[in-house]
Amino acid sequence: MKLLEGEFTARVLRGRVTYTMTPRMFISGIIQYNNTNASVGSNLRFRWEYRPGSELFVVYTDDYDTVERPSATALRNRATVVKVTRLLRP
C-alpha cells in the first residue's frame, strides 16, 4: 500500500470457527495475526437466545504483542463482557 509516509505491506491471517449447539445457542471464535502492529488476538463469543428476541452474550477477547515473546508484558489487552437483552412485549 502506498501512503505519503511511504510503502508498506500488511499481512493479516485470520481463522474462524463456529459451533452451533441448538438453533438458539452457539459459540464462535476468531484468532488473528497482524504483522503491521506485531499482534495476535483472539475473540470467543457465546450467544444464547433464551426467549424469542431476548439474548445473552458472553465475550472474551485478548491481544498479545508478538515481539515481546512469551512473557507477562506481551499481553496488551484482555476483557470479558456480558450483555443481556430482553424484548418487552405489551
| Rounded to 5°, angle at Cα 8 from 71 and 42 | 35
Could you tell me the residue ranges of all domains in the chain?
12-85
Q: For residue 27, what are the CA distances in angstroms to 46, 51, 68, 76?
A: 4, 17, 30, 24
Placement of cell 500500500 in the chain: 1
Q: What is the pTM of this model?
A: 0.77
pLDDT (tens, 9 = 90+) of the chain, 90 residues, equals: 677 877 877 888 999 999 999 999 999 999 999 888 888 999 999 999 999 999 999 999 999 888 766 665 688 899 999 999 999 988
